[in-house]
Amino acid sequence: MSETKVQLEKLSPEKAEPLARATLEAARQKMGMIPNMYAYMANAPGLLEAYRVGYELFRQSSGFTPAEQEVVFLSISYENGCEYCMAAHSFIADIQSKVPTEVTEALRQGWEVPDARLRALSRLTRVLVHRRGRLRQAELDLFHGAGYTDAQVLQIILAIGVKTLSNYTNHLCGTQVDEAFLKRAWTHSAAR
């Protein structure tokens, strides 16, 4: 199946509407760059704002550690085949969240995660994406057995919402991986 891309330009803060402009400027201040994904999302300011708010809420209040958050984001992006987000979150996993390399590599390859607790988190996340939120009791029991709660299942749904916004945008826009993330580039076809 041949994929069609939308024809949108990457917007700078100067070209963006006020709602998107603030997010783009904040990204440039915080990261020293405007991620390509943000520049495309700025064409729909509500999309960019929904992504930003949801992402920040997940980071701040999910109850997951930074490493667990990356496991969730990488598991979702793997299931959705998002090359941009796999590269970006692998980079964040290495630099900021300090995810063990063997865990990140397992997630990038679709292999079993070596850490039992993180494996349970990744499995449940991938099942939620793959089966559109429909779980079996045995899957939930494994998640609970790893020390996670029912409320954290809902936090994973928040992350799925956020990653759906970003993954689908990247698919439709053909978003190029930013130079900062290139050393963690990932190819969808190579991992499957």
DSSP string, 103-163: HHHHHHHTPPPSSHHHHHHHHHHHHHHHTTT---HHHHHHHHHTT--HHHHHHHHHHHHHH
At the second CATH level, the architecture of 64-167+175-191 is Up-down Bundle (1.20)
Domain ranges within the chain, ordered by starting residue: 10-61, 64-167+175-191
Tell me the torsion sign for CA atoms 165, 168, 172, 175.
Answer: positive
Residues sharing a CB contact under 8 Å with residue 42, sequence separation 6 or more, in sequence order: 10, 11, 16, 17, 20, 21, 23, 24, 48
Is residue 164 within 8 Å of residue 70, measured between CB atoms?
Answer: no
Interval 4-57: pLDDT, tens: 788 999 999 999 999 999 999 999 999 899 999 999 999 999 999 999 999 999
Check residue 189 and give its pLDDT. 72
On average, the pLDDT of the chain sits at 94
Per-residue pLDDT of the chain (192 residues; tens, 9 = 90+): 567 788 999 999 999 999 999 999 999 999 899 999 999 999 999 999 999 999 999 999 999 999 999 999 999 999 999 999 999 999 999 988 899 999 999 999 999 999 999 999 999 999 999 999 999 999 999 999 999 999 999 999 999 999 999 999 999 999 999 999 999 999 987 555
Place of tokens 């998107």: 20
C-beta neighbour count of 96 within 10 angstroms: 12
Domain 10-61 has CATH 1.20.5: yes
Predicted model pTM: 0.93
Euclidean distance between CA atoms 72 and 62, whole angstroms: 11
Q: Quick one: pLDDT at residue 191?
A: 57
Residue 126, token pair as written in the block: 């991938």
Q: Is 131 left (phi over 0), alpha (psi -120 to 50) or beta?
A: alpha
Q: Which pLDDT score, from 0 to 100, does residue 182 have? A: 92
pLDDT at 190: 56
- The pLDDT assigned to 176 comes to 96
- What one-character-per-residue DSSP string does 156-183 give? HHHHHHHHHHHHHHHHHHTPPPPGGGGG
Q: Are 40 and 147 in contact (CB under 8 A)?
A: no
Residues in the chain: 192
Q: pLDDT at position 147, please?
A: 97
